[in-house]
């Protein structure tokens, strides 16, 4: 793993942008994208740049089950607001949260990934070591699957909805195996709350208890951390 420690999220955004810029310069055609607060500064740098994505394809990690693409809490909407409106791609794929047939949707998305092998996959890191919605215990060979969200995730998301009944209970997510198929991986983490997960990911044993630890088995991983997130590394 190539570990880069930066001063803050803004510096992390600049460092992450360089990884994207270099990947495109080396011919990357398919970008795997993530949502959440962590990648926002990278997307800000991409939007402000002169990089052209109009001939490229994007494939997103995950989406809530039950939310349509226009819902302000959907990941499709997040991507529109933070990247796609300013930097459109030739094709952009996000799991279809409105498809109630999980077997059909996960099969469809696996086919998309197979037809569009990911050159660079962007990831955030959960405090428990999850990547995507792959919680501890996820099979490292897993492909796209329907995930039951944890009680803590549901509770944390409740503030974004008018009432608790609207909070999604499930999500579609690329599996750990899907993620590891990417040619290059960029994972970003900020803050002291992520420090234990960072240490386990980089220096701990490779174990289903820390899904991100499987990144140790990948030949091309860049890790961008602020000093707080790196604070428990030896």
Contact 167, 158 (CB under 8 A): yes
Q: What is the four-CA torsion angle of 28, 58, 42, 195, rounded to 10 degrees?
A: -100
Kindly name the residue from 62, 96, 119, 226 that is annotated as catalytic: 62
Contact 226, 15 (CB under 8 A): no
Catalytic site includes residue 163: no
Collect all residues with Cβ–Cβ distance below 8 Å to 71 and sequence separation of at least 6.
77
Kindly name the residue from 99, 116, 128, 157 that is annotated as catalytic: 128
Kindly name the residue from 130, 134, 145, 226 that is annotated as catalytic: 130
Kindly name the residue from 63, 135, 145, 226 that is annotated as catalytic: 135
Catalytic site includes residue 128: yes
Catalytic site includes residue 135: yes
User: What are the Cα distances from residue 216, in Å, to 61, 104, 154, 185?
Assistant: 19, 31, 29, 11
d(CA 101, CA 105): 6
Catalytic site includes residue 130: yes
Active-site annotation, residues:
62, 128, 130, 135
């Amino acid at each position: 793993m190539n570990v880069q420690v930066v001063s803050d999220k803004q510096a992390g955004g600049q460092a992450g942008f360089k990884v994207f810029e270099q990947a495109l310069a080396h011919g990357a055609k398919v970008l795997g994208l993530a949502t959440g607060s962590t990648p926002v500064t990278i997307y800000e740098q991409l939007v402000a740049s002169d990089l052209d994505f109009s001939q490229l394809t994007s494939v997103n990690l995950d989406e809530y089950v039950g939310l349509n693409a226009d819902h302000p809490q959907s990941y499709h909407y997040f991507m529109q607001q933070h990247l796609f409106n300013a930097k459109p791609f030739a094709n952009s794929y996000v799991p279809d949260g409105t498809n109630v047939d999980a077997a059909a949707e996960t099969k469809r998305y696996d086919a998309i990934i197979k037809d569009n092998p990911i050159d660079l996959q962007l990831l955030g890191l959960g405090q428990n070591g999850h990547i995507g919605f792959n919680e501890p215990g996820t099979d490292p060979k897993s492909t796209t699957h329907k995930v039951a969200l944890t009680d803590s995730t549901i509770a944390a998301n409740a503030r974004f909805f008018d009432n608790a009944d609207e909070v999604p209970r499930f999500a579609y997510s690329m599996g750990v195996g899907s993620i590891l198929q990417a040619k290059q991986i960029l994972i970003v983490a900020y803050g002291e709350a992520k420090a234990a997960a960072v240490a386990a990911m980089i220096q701990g044993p490779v174990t289903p208890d820390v899904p991100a630890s499987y990144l140790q088995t990948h030949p091309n991983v860049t890790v961008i951390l602020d000093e707080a997130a790196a604070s428990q590394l030896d």
